[in-house]
Chains A and B, each alone.
Chain A
Amino acid sequence: MLHPPLDQQPIDPAYPFRSESPLSREERKARFLGALKGILELDLYDRPLKMYLDTCARCNNCAGQCPVFQATGDVHDLPAWRSDLLRRVYRRYFTPSGRLLGRLVGAKKLTAGDIDAMVEAFYRCTMCRRCAVHCPLAVDNALITRIGRVLLAEIGFVPKNITVSVAAQLAKGGNTSSIPPAAFIDTLDFLEEELVDETGINIPIPRDVEGAEYFFAAPVSDYIMEADTLMGIARVFHAAGASWTVGTENYDAINYGLFYSDDKLEEILNRLLAEVRRLKCGTLVIGECGHATKAALLFHKVFGRSEYRDIRIESILQVTRRFLAEGKISFAASKDQGSVTYHDPCNLGRGLGLYEEPRELLAAAGIEVVEMQPNREMNLCCGGGGGLVVAPDLHDWRMSVGGLLKAEQLRATGAKTVVAPCANCKKQLRELVQHHNIDMEVAGLHDLVGRALTREEKA
């Protein structure tokens, strides 16, 4: 057999995602191709997409980097094979050579079976982009995965938990965790009380302050799961004497549109920017969250409404790092934290280049980091990237496939704490250490940074 089987069947019968679409199989094909045509005509992805679809040397260099393929060794998890599911359809319908020569040039008519295979394949990729680092032709399979998912969404396939969260967020005054404003405000009060208990001083979490310099938005799940991270951030803003605020009409930075839909991404982003504008803040600061930071930073200039283009967007990592450089915050001699390792979230590292900021902050806070091997641009995805962490039905897969190598990597550090400035990574890492019996705490960056600050009494 010289070529992957022509009519794809599901790759792994146990994999929980199947294409469940109200559309007939014929309609799915027509819609899929229509949507692909639309994307190819759209200026937005022109250069990278066409280039990636046109060139791939089929060298499998990417396979050696892909944590999913490394875990399964299954040909269907080869990044180039996965991308080819889309590439060969593109060739068949949108290139002269594919139309003319068909299979000879790797082109193939789309079948409903192919769509089934794509549903599975594109949701077995965490979009971590590790494979792109050492592709000799600089092809980025994660972008192809993303486009594949956008097309699948057009025919009605999106994992249920993601659609539910997005629907909740886009409801009036909504957010992905469906925390009502009153409960949100209660949580802020609670955090302030906790801060008093911990520090002995009043550290406010300002709400709806018009004209504050920084508008802060965390992934809303932090208000349920990551109190320490939020308190650390409040301590930093307070210690730096910064003017900051959260908004009570929109307090959710999560943007799952990044994983499957430009329309949703745009809508979610603009709603958040509208809140920043309502409060007349100059800078939107995204909390510890990889995908939310990337969605906002990368797509601001293309999807943000023109009247919002002047809003600055930063990651909290950049802001805190700058406060340190400007001497606005300082750290006391560190209390012993035990050994700490740092996990580079894919979207903050490979996606945005924020490798050194968190390390410099930890170093300044007197926390010695035992590096994972490999780290920085070669760090392994936690295994829950690309939105997969949102789906509870993928738990087993994330533990035994997506995060398998990560678990080994964590264990090898021997550290007592793993720091990950990303809500999704933290959720996945917690499940991983538990599942694999690794004796390790999972913490956010500001949990540690906040605690190490020089006492803030004066401020």
Chain B
Amino acid sequence: MTGMEFIARVFPYLALGLFVLGTAWRFLRWRSLPAHLKWTLYPFPKGTAGQLKYMAGEIFTFGTIYRFNRRLWIGAYVLHMAMGGFVLFSILYLAGWLPGTAVRIILWILLAAPVYLVALRSFNKYLRAVTTPEEFFNLIFLAAFAVAGLAASPSAMSPRAYFVGLMLMRPDAASLPPELVPAILLGGLFLIYLPWSRMIHYISKYFAYHAIKWQKN
């Protein structure tokens, strides 16, 4: 198997598999941690419906940051929505329901948001004091992925056939536009890295709220 074949036919599955395994491992580990000490913070939303509503509100609006930290919110909110949006738009594009331009726009946003956040974290004295190199690395990683995606987008060959093959478990190296390789590599590495980085808050948040902050008597 050539390097190209590995990247086209094995790596995407490997990355996704490691992402799922890593996330599951961290989820299960956190879930298995005992919670002897109740560390509830009062008051908390009542009932499952109330809690879901709060969580949904928080996840879809970043309300707490919006209220108290507007400048950071602009960057953080746009970044997170762009990440979700990228996945969604890519699927719609592959399904033929969205033009490639939509994906390109989202990639531009995915580039602009980290750049903005890097600047904010560098120039705001308080954010700089709590930012570690890891935050910068994560942001630059995302920006690099967006650049790679943008660089690949005006390629001669449509990536649709390749991705559809991938989804149908029939990956075909020949249908992979070579311009897409850096984006695939960066995207895959990002997925592998995600569960082990601070960005793991996509699951830690669940526990920190439901299993600690809102723990009932």
Interface residues of A (CB under 8 A from B): 1-4, 43-48, 50-52, 54-61, 63-65, 75, 78, 80-81, 84, 88, 97, 103-106, 129, 132-140, 143, 298-299, 302, 349-353, 355, 376-377
Give the chain B neighbours of A132 by CB distance below 8 A: 41, 213
Given A4-B129, A58-B127, A78-B130, check contact A50 B65 (CB 8 Å): no
Please state if A46 and B204 are interface contacts (CB–CB under 8 Å).
no
Question: Given the complex of chains A and B, what is the CA–CA distance between A64 and B68 in angstroms?
Answer: 7
Given A2-B133, A60-B72, A61-B64, check contact A51 B30 (CB 8 Å): yes
Please state if B201 and A57 are interface contacts (CB–CB under 8 Å).
yes
Nearest 6 Cβ contacts at the A-B interface: A353-B42, A106-B132, A138-B208, A75-B129, A47-B33, A46-B33
Residue from A3, A45, A64, A105 in contact with B69 in the complex, judged by beta carbons closer than 8 Å: A64
Give the chain A neighbours of B68 by CB distance below 8 A: 61, 64-65, 134
Q: Could you list 8 A-B pairs, sorted by A, with CB under 8 Å?
A: A48-B39, A51-B30, A54-B200, A58-B132, A104-B133, A136-B64, A136-B65, A137-B201
Given A57-B76, A103-B132, output 9 extra A-B contacts at Cβ < 8 Å: A48-B37, A54-B198, A61-B68, A64-B69, A134-B64, A136-B58, A138-B41, A349-B42, A350-B41
Q: What distance in Å separates the Cβ of A66 from its nearest Cβ neighbour in chain B?
A: 11
Residue B207 interfacial (CB < 8 Å): yes
Please state if B126 and A47 are interface contacts (CB–CB under 8 Å).
no
Residue from A2, A105, A352 in contact with B128 in the complex, judged by beta carbons closer than 8 Å: A2
Give the chain B neighbours of A377 by CB distance below 8 A: 41-43
Question: Given the complex of chains A and B, what is the CA–CA distance between A2 and B123 in angstroms?
Answer: 10
Q: What distance in Å separates the Cβ of A235 from its nearest Cβ neighbour in chain B?
A: 29
Question: Given the complex of chains A and B, what is the CA–CA distance between A129 and B200 in angstroms?
Answer: 23
Please state if B207 and A51 are interface contacts (CB–CB under 8 Å).
yes
Chain B positions 165-189 with a Cβ under 8 Å from a chain A Cβ:
none
Residue from A55, A84, A88 in contact with B200 in the complex, judged by beta carbons closer than 8 Å: A55
Given A58-B131, A58-B135, check contact A46 B43 (CB 8 Å): no
Q: What distance in Å separates the Cβ of A254 from its nearest Cβ neighbour in chain B?
A: 21
Interface residues of B (CB under 8 A from A): 30, 33-43, 58, 62, 64-65, 67-69, 72, 76, 122, 125-137, 196, 198, 200-201, 204-205, 207-209, 211-213
Give the chain B neighbours of A84 by CB distance below 8 A: 130
Give the chain A neighbours of B64 by CB distance below 8 A: 61, 134-136
Residue from A63, A104, A134 in contact with B67 in the complex, judged by beta carbons closer than 8 Å: A134
Please state if B128 and A51 are interface contacts (CB–CB under 8 Å).
no
Given A55-B200, A140-B39, check contact A63 B213 (CB 8 Å): no
Q: What distance in Å separates the Cβ of B119 from its nearest Cβ neighbour in chain A?
A: 13
Q: What distance in Å separates the Cβ of A7 from its nearest Cβ neighbour in chain B?
A: 16
Give the chain B neighbours of A298 by CB distance below 8 A: 37-38
Please state if B205 and A2 are interface contacts (CB–CB under 8 Å).
no
In the complex, number of A-B residue pairs with CB atoms less than 8 Å apart? 148
Please state if B134 and A47 are interface contacts (CB–CB under 8 Å).
no
Give the chain B neighbours of A3 by CB distance below 8 A: 131-133
Please state if B65 and A59 are interface contacts (CB–CB under 8 Å).
yes
Residue of B76, B128, B198, B200 with most partner-chain A CB within 10 A: B198
Q: What distance in Å separates the Cβ of A293 from its nearest Cβ neighbour in chain B?
A: 13
Given A75-B125, A134-B68, check contact A353 B133 (CB 8 Å): no
Please state if A81 and B130 are interface contacts (CB–CB under 8 Å).
yes
Please state if A97 and B196 are interface contacts (CB–CB under 8 Å).
yes
Give the chain A neighbours of B43 by CB distance below 8 A: 353, 355, 376-377
Residue of A2, A140, A351 with most partner-chain B CB within 10 A: A2
Question: Given the complex of chains A and B, what is the CA–CA distance between A46 and B133 in angstroms?
Answer: 27
Give the chain A neighbours of B69 by CB distance below 8 A: 59-61, 64
Give the chain B neighbours of A351 by CB distance below 8 A: 42
- Nearest residue (CB) in A for B134 is A105
Please state if B136 and A138 are interface contacts (CB–CB under 8 Å).
no
Please state if A59 and B212 are interface contacts (CB–CB under 8 Å).
no
Give the chain A neighbours of B67 by CB distance below 8 A: 134
- Nearest residue (CB) in A for B69 is A61
Give the chain A neighbours of B62 by CB distance below 8 A: 136
- Nearest residue (CB) in B for A299 is B37
Give the chain A neighbours of B34 by CB distance below 8 A: 43, 46-47
